[in-house]
């Protein structure tokens, strides 16, 4: 019911009378008043003026499902949302939902994480109410070997959403780092549950440092606020990430990976550069020459041999 009232308040620029609300929602005016109180307790600023009715003045800076779903207009992503004030990691919650058979597109989102994790065993700083920390469950009809395509797709979607909402276009460092002025502003973590030749589900984890102060971030990281010197709406950014992800995911399933790969290359900071890549098997130096159709990075070593890496940490060599 609270959702419905909120929806009507948001749709209405001016005042909406208690009578109108009680008629539309088929509850008493006392009931409406009670729900308004509850919304106020959640941080919504609502005025009530005799003879005019109610008006929403402001919404709290929270990633409530009803905020994200308002005017979202996606078909799959974000139709179902699991919202948390604090979780150890949205990845774990999403993984459990995936195992329980939740439909594709389910979103797990949190205001803070106590054990946010990044790639290669690193952590992800997740202070309360400052960043976007979310995981999306997808069930792509892909073999496990092609799941890296989803990481690249997500990096493109997040970069485009950041550009739309801030005017700053991040560059992508293979496979999943989004950088502004060479400092990391967002990252993507892909985990999957699969059989030998079939993906059961994939969890795409996205972390964006939105209004995060520098002192909560590791060295070489930044936030959108830090770069632009202004505050950004986490709700609007989350909505745009979902829209862009849905757009590119539709492309992937409909037409294949090539248009995503092309867009990724346009945004890439990695290609045609001398790099050093480290993974569990050790270090390798060479020039990053291309991305393969499965999302792997092709490196021409100093010996002229071309090798492919599916994972690893890239640093730019000079």
Signed CA dihedral, 84, 89, 90, 93: sign only: negative
Candidates 14-22, 54-62, 88-96, 209-217; binding stretch for ligand BTN (CB under 6 A) = 88-96
59 makes contact with ligand BTN (CB under 6 A): no
CB closest to ligand BTN, residue no: 187
> Which residues, 210 to 239, sit near ligand BTN by CB under 6 A?
none
Distance (Å) of CA 193 to CA 43, 116, 152, 219, 318 = 38, 19, 18, 32, 39
How far is 20 from 9, CA to CA, in rounded Å?
11
List residues bridging with 286 in a β-sheet. Answer: 275, 301
R_g of the chain, CA atoms, integer Å: 22
The one among 166, 176, 222, 238 contacting ligand BTN by CB under 6 A: 176
187 makes contact with ligand BTN (CB under 6 A): yes
Q: What's the min distance (Å) between Cβ of 203 and ligand BTN?
A: 8
68 makes contact with ligand BTN (CB under 6 A): no
130 makes contact with ligand BTN (CB under 6 A): no
90 makes contact with ligand BTN (CB under 6 A): yes
Nearer to ligand BTN, 39 or 210 (CB): 210
Nearer to ligand BTN, 16 or 183 (CB): 183
The one among 78, 105, 205, 295 contacting ligand BTN by CB under 6 A: 205
Q: Note whether 119 and 184 are within 8 A (CB).
A: no
Candidates 33-41, 96-104, 116-124, 155-163; binding stretch for ligand BTN (CB under 6 A) = 116-124
Candidates 112-120, 212-220, 235-243, 290-298; binding stretch for ligand BTN (CB under 6 A) = 112-120
Nearer to ligand BTN, 72 or 134 (CB): 134
With CB under 6 A, what is the number of residues at the site for ligand BTN? 21
β-pairing, 107-113 with 81-87?
Answer: parallel
Candidates 35-43, 56-64, 84-92, 267-275; binding stretch for ligand BTN (CB under 6 A) = 84-92
For 194-201, the CB contacts below 8 A with 24+ separation are: 194/144, 194/147, 196/144, 197/143, 197/144, 198/143, 198/144, 199/139, 199/140, 199/141, 199/142, 199/143, 199/144, 199/147, 200/98, 200/139, 201/98, 201/104, 201/137, 201/138, 201/139
Q: Note whether 252 and 138 are within 8 A (CB).
A: no
134 makes contact with ligand BTN (CB under 6 A): yes
Q: What's the min distance (Å) between Cβ of 116 and ligand BTN?
A: 4
105: alpha, beta or left? (left if phi > 0; alpha if psi -120 to 50): left
Q: What's the min distance (Å) between Cβ of 119 and ligand BTN?
A: 4
How far is 187 from 260, CA to CA, in rounded Å?
18
133 makes contact with ligand BTN (CB under 6 A): yes
18 makes contact with ligand BTN (CB under 6 A): no
How far is 58 from 48, CA to CA, in rounded Å?
13
Site residues (vs ligand BTN, CB under 6 A): 89-91, 113, 116-119, 122, 124, 133-135, 176-177, 187-189, 205-207
């Amino acid at each position: 019911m609270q959702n419905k009232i909120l929806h009507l308040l948001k749709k209405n620029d001016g005042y909406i009378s208690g009578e109108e609300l009680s008629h539309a929602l088929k509850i008493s005016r006392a009931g409406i008043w009670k729900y308004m109180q509850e919304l106020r307790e959640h941080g919504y600023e609502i005025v009530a003026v005799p003879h005019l009715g109610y008006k929403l003045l402001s919404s709290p800076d929270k990633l409530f499902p009803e905020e994200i779903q308002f005017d979202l207009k996606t078909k799959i992503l974000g139709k179902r949302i699991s919202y948390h004030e604090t979780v150890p990691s949205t990845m774990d919650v999403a993984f459990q939902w995936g195992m329980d058979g939740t439909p594709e597109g389910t979103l797990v989102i949190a205001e803070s994480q106590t054990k946010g994790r990044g790639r290669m065993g690193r952590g992800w700083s997740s202070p309360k109410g400052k960043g976007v920390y979310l995981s999306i469950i997808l069930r792509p009809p892909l073999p496990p070997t092609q799941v890296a395509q989803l990481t690249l797709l997500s990096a493109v979607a997040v970069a485009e959403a950041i550009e739309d909402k801030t005017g700053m276009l991040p560059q992508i460092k293979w496979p999943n780092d989004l950088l502004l002025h060479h400092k990391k502003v967002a990252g993507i973590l892909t985990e999957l549950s699969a059989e030998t030749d079939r993906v059961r589900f994939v969890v795409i984890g996205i972390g964006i440092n939105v209004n995060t102060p520098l002192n909560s971030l590791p060295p070489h990281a930044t936030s959108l606020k830090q770069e632009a010197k202004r505050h950004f709406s986490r709700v609007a950014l989350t909505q745009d990430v979902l829209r862009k992800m849905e757009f590119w995911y539709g492309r992937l399933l409909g037409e294949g990976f090539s248009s995503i790969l092309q867009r990724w290359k346009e945004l890439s900071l990695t290609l045609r550069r001398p790099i050093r890549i480290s993974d569990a098997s050790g270090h390798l130096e060479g020039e990053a020459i291309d991305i393969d159709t499965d999302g792997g990075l092709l490196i021409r070593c100093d010996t002229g041999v071309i090798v492919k890496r599916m994972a690893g940490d890239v640093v730019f060599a000079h």
